[in-house]
């Protein structure tokens, strides 16, 4: 039996991992251990790790690491603390495979520990681009430390091949979050009103805005975003930002936006089914979240992608890409929320998949070669010695 450890560090990756966890649990050849660390264990961000119990697979191992900080130094120290904690946990467990996800900075810790312990790493969502955040470098670093790649799009697979990864290690499966979306119930407006305490209509704007981690001032885009939302006058459903440096300024700004407004609210951790149901009934999604890039096209809902955080990311035509200037943002909100634009999205195909990623991923995991083969990575990029010169 193959032992597989999967780690979750935030509410975001939980939505991507749930279908895979369920699929592995059903497979007789696998023994699964679920680990949680980082913001997944933080009450400030909704303690996403606790939600796994209700889904049938509670967290098996908890590794506390997130500092109560809002700085880049806090982020760096969190990586160190997570590395120490996971060194103890993974050395005790010694799984046959470790699964890491996407591009969160906390994921550097489990991948580094696994590398030292000679545990093959499976990376989900490698090969994508998000040039306006440190996420890009994190994602590419995880690629280099990983031995198997479960990618969401054909272009991501091509990029990994261009980075020198051997083709047999790269598998195009799609985005796991789309599996969960396909399986989740759709809540009615009335049900959402009971859950949220506010109504959701075609006038509603859903806001999911995160720190711009590559910038010196990670909340530099915030004033323009806030000004545009204020000028729109539309009801707002605001989501908490990620646990990155600068998140508190965004939280405070969102609290101010919805204060004394009975038609608006700020929510710490919306269940995926609730979040996606809101998007089905709302006018548009605004911010710089990857959900506006990856999941929105499957609804489909207009998504206004602001600034540089998701720069370079493959996107469907429901995404309106704008600079972080209030006039552009406000115009895009009005265009996206308009009936004509929404009607034009009928039949839209999502480049991130069809909602069957987890079964494909499990078939890949079941057919992997032995550990000794996985660990010996080769560089497949040809090197022209004639072009090499001394510095």
| Distance separating alpha carbons of residues 351 and 298, to the nearest angstrom | 9
Q: What's the confidence (pLDDT) of residue 66?
A: 84
Same fold, 2-174+356-383 and 188-343: yes
> pLDDT below 50 — which residues of the chain?
none
CATH architecture, domain 2-174+356-383: 3-Layer(aba) Sandwich (3.40)
Q: What's the confidence (pLDDT) of residue 175?
A: 97
Find out whether 132 and 157 touch, Cβ atoms under 8 Å: no
The pTM is what?
0.93
Helix, strand, coil shares of the chain as percentages rounded to 5? 45, 15, 40
Each residue's pLDDT tens digit, 248-305: 999 999 999 999 999 999 999 899 999 999 999 999 999 999 999 999 999 999 999 9
Topology (CATH level 3) of domain 188-343? Rossmann fold (3.40.50)
Find out whether 102 and 75 touch, Cβ atoms under 8 Å: no
| Distance separating alpha carbons of residues 295 and 133, to the nearest angstrom | 20
Q: What's the confidence (pLDDT) of residue 185?
A: 95
Q: What's the confidence (pLDDT) of residue 384?
A: 66
Instruction: Encode 229-241: b = buried (16+ Cβ within 10 Å), e = exposed.
Output: beebebbbbbbbb
The ranges assigned to domains in the chain are 2-174+356-383, 188-343
């Amino acid at each position: 039996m193959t032992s597989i450890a999967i780690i979750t560090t935030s509410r975001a990756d939980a939505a991507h991992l749930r279908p895979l966890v369920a699929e592995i649990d059903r497979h007789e050849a696998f023994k699964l251990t679920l680990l949680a660390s980082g913001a997944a264990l933080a009450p400030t961000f909704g303690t996403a790790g606790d939600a796994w119990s209700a889904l049938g697979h509670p967290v098996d191992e908890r590794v506390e690491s997130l500092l109560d900080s809002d700085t880049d130094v806090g982020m760096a120290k969190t990586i160190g603390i997570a590395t120490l904690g996971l060194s103890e946990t993974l050395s005790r467990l010694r799984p046959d495979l470790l699964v890491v996800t996407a591009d969160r900075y906390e994921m550097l810790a489990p991948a580094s520990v696994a590398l030292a312990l000679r545990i093959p790493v499976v990376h989900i969502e490698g090969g994508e681009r998000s040039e306006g955040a440190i996420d890009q470098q994190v994602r590419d670093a995880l690629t280099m430390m990983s031995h198997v790649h479960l990618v969401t799009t054909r272009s991501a697979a091509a990029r990994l091949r261009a980075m020198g990864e051997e083709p047999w290690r790269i598998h195009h499966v799609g985005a796991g979050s789309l599996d969960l979306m396909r399986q989740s119930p759709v809540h009615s407006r009335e049900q959402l009103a009971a859950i949220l305490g506010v109504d959701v209509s075609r006038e509603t704007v859903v806001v999911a805005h995160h720190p711009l981690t590559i910038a010196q001032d990670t909340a530099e885009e915030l004033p323009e975003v806030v000004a545009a939302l204020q000028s729109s006058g539309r009801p707002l459903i605001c989501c908490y930002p990620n646990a990155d440096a600068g998140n508190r300024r965004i939280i405070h700004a969102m609290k101010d936006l919805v204060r004394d407004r009975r038609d608006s609210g700020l929510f710490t951790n919306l269940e995926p089914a609730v979040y996606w149901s809101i998007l089905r009934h709302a006018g548009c999604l605004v911010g710089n979240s990857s959900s506006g890039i990856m999941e929105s096209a499957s609804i489909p809902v207009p998504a206004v992608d602001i600034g540089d955080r998701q720069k370079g990311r493959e996107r469907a035509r429901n995404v309106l890409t704008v600079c972080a200037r209030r006039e552009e943002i406000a115009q895009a909100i009005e265009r996206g929320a308009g009936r004509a634009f929404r009607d034009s999205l009928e039949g839209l195909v999502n480049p991130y998949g069809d909602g069957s990623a987890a079964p494909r991923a499990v078939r890949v995991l079941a057919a992997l070669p032995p550990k000794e083969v996985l660990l010996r990575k080769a560089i497949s990029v040809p090197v022209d010695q004639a072009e090499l010169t001394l510095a």
